[in-house]
A and B are shown apart, each in its own frame.
Chain A
């Protein structure tokens, strides 16, 4: 529960194609609510492919469906989430005089939903 993970939101092919179908449509919402996680971390935290988890940052929290990343894609401790509404809800308003909130490399906690 107390482990700190680093979250990297980013683009995926499906995020891009479903964006064109509509940001309010089911496929885009599903893609941007799917968290990819290192399989070793999933085993350690007892999370099974397809289970729901809660991700919490200093600024917000979202509930996502967890999927195993391909072997070697993500090192332990790193999470990946396709860009969208949920990833943005974890950002804070501070931009450190750049106009850009910290949008990648965010510290988050992960909790398995029962």
Chain B
């Protein structure tokens, strides 16, 4: 058989595949797969193309123990021993794996009395706290596409972080009640930096750093008819006239939404900044339909919130150490349990705290035994006592993920991997942990 014929026989088209690189979770990908490589990703944005086209099966042992190749069974045994013998274990990560794997991870945390936490806590965790504080007036991206005529992005740069958010959901598409698409919508961007997103906005506010709360609270006051001192411009960089103009637009639109990014949740004030945005949206419902949604980063970070909430009642930062769930950000969140030197073992799934956390948290992680599940090498996998090289979700494994608006989306994998899925590895660890705990009870 000629080489060309072999290539043809190996080439497949996978339609309606899902990109899990970011929280947009676009499910209209058309992938061209040649053997075990994706050569084209039609409909993908620049980030999605990089996600699919850079994916290849790496030469790696399925498991390593202290850096040395091991079998899957040996890795599972060591992992289960670490977790079963820990006094204050943590289960962390979870935002880049399927809901099916996430639920097994929570089950392991429950059995060993761990703190279970996701990358939400260092992303929109403060937003989760704000939801509990003031509520969330919520909607789906489908409703935004079909109805929104005023779209405000606050503290984010969607042009670079979520390129298809605009084109697929929020700005460009023609919707049922927005038949002219972009021409029928007013786009506003509020940020401290004039990022690449600014060029696409009708109105751009470059506010002073760390003044989001003040601007949002002033807008709330204006919505309620409270007078504001014009000197607010010196404080925030935004004039009273600009604020009055936006308030008028917000009150008179048919369907408005604030998409807020980590410019609110990561900056000093954190959950208070988000509470201000959520409260503003809530207040505006006295006049029109108005919503506020976080723009989520990782492909299934929203699923992690959902799964942990189904199983424990809380979305992140949950301690199961007393046999029942307790929620306390700042106490049970991983950044804190590591930085304070409390955790004595870890199970880290699809994330890189050794490369992303604060210095004190990283230093403590180096001192404790931990297990890492990740398809790729990172600072975290390099330091892991046990590393499982797993298949990539969405590309190699099926399952369910949640889009940033809490809509579940099924995955359609492109090709098989020689490596097991996160779910498979976690189920094996859970089974062995259960056996070890049972043995301890009977002895």
Contact = CB atoms under 8 A, between A and B. Distances in A.
Given A92-B359, A104-B262, 11 more contacts: A17-B46, A20-B47, A59-B359, A60-B359, A74-B193, A80-B193, A94-B339, A99-B121, A100-B121, A105-B209, A105-B267
B378 A98 contact: no
B209 A24 contact: no
Contacts of B388: none
Given A24-B377, A24-B378, A78-B209, A16 B50 contact: yes
A60 B360 CA distance: 10
Give the one of A20, A24, A93, A103 with max B CB within 10 A: A93
Contacts of B333: 95, 98-100
A89 B271 CA distance: 23
Contacts of A19: 50
Contacts of A74: 193-194
A104 B263 contact: yes
Given A78-B209, A88-B356, A100-B121, A73 B195 contact: yes
Interface residues of B, number: 58
A91 B50 contact: no
B294 interface: no
A101 B339 CA distance: 10
Nearest to B265: A100
Contact of A102 (B49, B268, B376): B268
A11 interface: yes
11 contacts: A10-B161, A20-B55, A23-B379, A24-B379, A78-B192, A91-B357, A92-B358, A93-B340, A99-B122, A100-B121, A100-B266
Interface in A70-114: 70, 72-75, 78, 80, 84-85, 88-89, 91-105
A21 B379 CA distance: 15
Interface in B198-220: 206, 209-210
B329 A99 contact: yes
A20 B38 CA distance: 14
B54 to A, nearest CB: 4
A64 to B, nearest CB: 16
A98 B377 contact: no
A22 interface: yes
Interface of B: 21, 46-47, 49-51, 54-55, 117, 121-123, 125-126, 129, 157, 160-161, 163, 192-196, 206, 209-210, 262-263, 265-268, 270-271, 316-317, 329-331, 333-336, 339-340, 352, 355-361, 376-379
Main secondary structure on A side of the interface with B = loop
Contacts of B330: 95-99
A91 B358 contact: yes
A99 B378 contact: no
A91 B336 CA distance: 13
Contacts of B263: 10, 104
Nearest to A12: B160
Contacts of B378: 23-24
A79 to B, nearest CB: 10
A53 interface: no
A6 interface: yes
Nearest to B340: A93
Given A17-B46, A78-B192, A99 B358 contact: no
B47 A16 contact: yes
Contact of A13 (B21, B46, B123, B265): B46
Contacts of B329: 95, 97-100
B335 A93 contact: yes
Contacts of A6: 209-210
Contacts of B193: 8, 10, 73-74, 78, 80
A20 B206 contact: no
Nearest to B52: A20
Contacts of A75: 192, 206
Contacts of A100: 121-123, 125-126, 265-266, 270, 329, 333, 335
Interface string A1-39: 000001010111100111111111000000000000000
B266 A103 contact: yes
Interface centre among B268, B358, B379 (most CB of A within 10 A): B358
Nearest to A15: B160
A84 B357 CA distance: 10
A23 B375 CA distance: 12
Contacts of A104: 262-263, 266-267
B126 A85 contact: no
A74 B196 CA distance: 12
Contacts of B46: 13, 16-17
